[in-house]
Amino acid sequence: MPSTLDHVFAALADPTRRAILARLAEGEASVTELAEPFEMSLPAVSKHIKVLERAGLISRGRDAQFRPCRLEPEALKEAAGWLAFYRRFWGGSLDRLAAYLEDEEEAGP
């Protein structure tokens, strides 16, 4: 079972999906609305949306025929947290991380 971190980063690796997220940052949108800027078929966008949903980055409602998408910021937290953790050490003293990891070793990963 792949971790959600796998899914989140994989979802973010595609420019179409990042564009969809950017669009959703402006507010909820239907699939057709989200598909509009792209030169690909609706099913293709529908698949991208499913990937984002599986990663927990968006969730969907029901409004008649529409399945409005909205952002789920929580999923980003994990990813941002991972990056922030490593950036903190990479940018600064690596010895600090080594020490930190040694301390953690007793408590488990």
Partner DNA sequence: GCGGAACTTAACTGATAGGTTAAATATCTC
Partner DNA sequence: GAGATATTTAACCTATCAGTTAAGTTCCGC
Residue 18 interacting with its own copies (CB under 8 A):
yes
Count of C-beta atoms within a 10 Å radius of residue 64: 5
Q: Which residue has the tokens 């969809």?
A: 20
Q: Quote the tokens at residue 74.
A: 């929580």
**Residue 55 burial by Cβ neighbours in a 10 Å radius (0-12, 13-18, 19+):** buried
Q: Binders of its own copies among 20-39, rule CB under 8 A?
A: 21-22, 25-27
Q: Quote the tokens at residue 69.
A: 């998408």
Q: Which does residue 49 bind out of DNA, its own copies, none, counting CB within 5 to 8 angstroms by kind?
A: DNA
Report in angstroms how near the CB of residue 67 gets to its own copies at its nearest: 20
Q: Quote the tokens at residue 10.
A: 């994989």
Beta bridge partners of 66: 63
Q: Binders of DNA among 18-47, rule CB under 7 A?
A: 30-33, 39-44, 46-47
Element (H, E) at 59: strand 58-60
Report in angstroms how near the CB of residue 101 gets to its own copies at its nearest: 6
Report in angstroms how near the CB of residue 25 gets to its own copies at its nearest: 5
Q: Which residues would be at the binding site for its own copies (CB under 8 A)? A: 2-3, 5-7, 9-10, 12-15, 18, 21-22, 25-27, 71, 73, 76-77, 79-80, 82-84, 86-87, 89-91, 94, 97-98, 101
